[in-house]
Amino acid sequence: MTLPEASRFPFTADFSICRILNGMWQVSGAHGAIDPARAVAAMEAYHHAGFTTWDLADHYGPAEDLIGNFRREFAARHGEARLAEIQAFTKWVPPPGAMTRRVVEEAIGVSLRRMGVDRLDLLQFHWWDYRDARYLDALGHLADLQNEGKIRHLALTNFDTERLAIITGHGIPIVSNQVQYSLIDRRPAAKMAAFCAGHGITLLTYGTLLGGLLSDKYLGHPEPSRGELTTASLQKYKQMIDAWGGWALFQELLAALKRVADKHAVSIANVGVRYVLDRPAVAGVIVGARLGIAEHIADNTRTFEVALDAEDLAAIGPILAKSRDLMRSIGDCGDEYR
């Protein structure tokens, strides 16, 4: 299976990414038990289908270790030269505290060792409390480590537009910000996307499929009880649907998406991902991969066959207009974490 050229995005001047990234939150333990050997075999299948870009974090259970295992097995099969085909984007999510050079360097050292690399492709930094301005200390040290060759590119996770402006104002070279973005959570369109477009920063998005709720499976489905929401993703994004407008309005949206999907002979999920991929400043959408449990390679591939037209957007727009304004109720990107 070969993905079309449109599946790639020139993320930076020195490398491109697949526009659908394989999300590894799903190996962290809150989405079912993961067998390491089966997971690595699944990673090989994703890679050879063209899905070469991985999103992970230091706190996603064994995610960094799985990347390290995958890289070693891949090199043994195909040669070390082909390791350049793999893009692995990790995150550092430190607890509050002093951000000394030693603290930062030791944390990055752990990720380097676990992933089996000399340099991190992309380090995405998250900070829990804006009132603690030591995030600027951490980013300063990370920029130094980038200059020393231990980090290829520096990025953020769940920072709002105000803080992103402060960080760039300090001359820290940010290439992307990872934020929640979906048909129901369109907060990045309010301020973030325009700022990013004006400063050469792109967006990597998660939550685009609402943990699987934005799918054909849930069209016509009664509102699920708490007990039916068997993964952390389902629980999280059901709450987002409630905040957005509720299950009845969500069913209206799924029905409209189904008509669009049928027109293009694809799935509801394909339409949902395509919609976000087409938004300004978006480089890629992260789709969770329950490695060794379930795979969506064939369905993800069909996303690149879809071109939404004005008629499609007009069918969706009136339903979105009925929803609540999440910028008012939640705040800017990432504010739900603070």
Of 184, 187, 183, 182, the C-alpha closest to 205 is 182
Contacts of 37 (CB under 8 A, 6+ apart): none
Q: With the CA atoms of 144, 146, 151 and 154 taken in that order, what torsion angle do they form, in degrees rounded to the nearest 10?
A: 100
What the block records as the tokens of 333 is 């990107």
Mean pLDDT value across the chain: 96
Q: Give the model confidence (pLDDT) of 214-250 as tens digits.
A: 999 999 999 999 999 988 899 999 999 999 999 999 9
Residues 64 and 77: beta-carbon distance below 8 Å: no
CA distances (Å), origin 225, targets 147, 215, 253, 295: 50, 17, 20, 25
Q: Give the model confidence (pLDDT) of 101-140 as tens digits.
A: 999 999 999 999 999 999 999 999 999 999 999 999 999 9
CA-to-CA distance for 302 and 268, rounded, in angstroms? 11
CATH class of 5-327: alpha beta
Of 172, 175, 165, the C-alpha closest to 333 is 165
pLDDT at 295: 79
- Residue, of 72 and 96, whose pLDDT is higher: 72
pLDDT at 290: 82
pLDDT at 124: 98
259 in helix, strand or coil?
helix
pLDDT at 29: 77
* Count of other CB atoms within 10 angstroms of residue 120: 24
What the block records as the tokens of 336 is 């739900």
Q: 314: part of which helix (H) or strand (E)?
A: helix 310-321
Of 80, 79, 106, the C-alpha closest to 94 is 106
101-115 helix and 135-147 helix, angle to the nearest 10 degrees? 60
CA distances (Å), origin 98, targets 49, 61, 129, 159, 206: 43, 24, 13, 19, 29
Q: Give the model confidence (pLDDT) of 287-327 as tens digits.
A: 998 887 777 899 999 999 999 999 999 999 999 999 999 99
Over range 56-74, report the average pLDDT. 97
Q: Model confidence at 2, in pLDDT bands (50, 70, 90)? A: confident
21 in helix, strand or coil?
strand
Q: With the CA atoms of 47, 1, 278 and 10 taken in that order, what torsion angle do they form, in degrees rounded to the nearest 10?
A: 50
pLDDT at 185: 98
Contacts of 231 (CB under 8 A, 6+ apart): 26, 30, 31, 32, 211, 212
Over range 44-56, report the average pLDDT. 97
- Pick left, alpha or beta for residue 329 (phi over 0 → left; psi -120 to 50 → alpha; otherwise beta): alpha
Please say if the pLDDT value at position 1 is more than 70: no
Over range 182-189, report the average pLDDT. 98
Q: How much is the pTM?
A: 0.96
